[in-house]
Amino acid sequence: MTVKELAQMLGYKIINKSDSINKKVTGVYACDLLSHAMAKVNEGDVWITVHTNLNVIAVASLTNCACVMIPENIDIEDQTVERANEKGVALLSCSKSSALICYEILSALKDMR
């Protein structure tokens, strides 16, 4: 399942235009400590974080995660969206909590098996 397919299936908003929406989603990881996330996020993960600063894009790029998900309709800074475009990082958002998003994505991935 790609990022785009996942977003369409679960009603998540795709914030920016990036080829990365065609990346394959293989897992999900939720963490707001950037160093911890950098160590633990795997390639193919949807990384959920409440942070919306530029460093999020750097961590997403370095970990090669499938996309970044911003929960609870938190506003995303314009410069972060611009940087995501530059670095080819897909940004998603939705109104749900991190916990609920994890549940939904894991359920969707389980159903795919």
Partner 1 sequence: MSTIVRDYTIPANDFTIAGEASSSVRKILSQLGVSPDVVKRTSIAMYEAEINAVIHGNGGMAHVEIDKNKIYIRISDEGPGIADLNLAMQEGYSTAPDSIREMGFGAGMGLSNIKKNADVLDIETEINKGTIVNITVFFKRE
| 85 part of the interface to partner 1, by CB under 8 A | no
| 74 part of the interface to partner 1, by CB under 8 A | no
Whether 40 contacts 29, CB under 8 Å:
yes
Query: Residues with Cβ < 8 Å from 33, sequence gap 6 or more?
Result: none
The nearest distance, CB 8 to partner 1, in angstroms, is: 28
Whether 53 contacts 70, CB under 8 Å:
no
Q: Which of the residues 26 through 65 are near partner 1 (CB under 8 A)? A: 32-39, 43, 49, 51, 53-56, 58-59, 61-64
Dist. CA 2–CA 39, nearest whole Å? 23
- Site residues (vs partner 1, CB under 8 A): 32-39, 43, 49, 51, 53-56, 58-59, 61-64, 79, 87
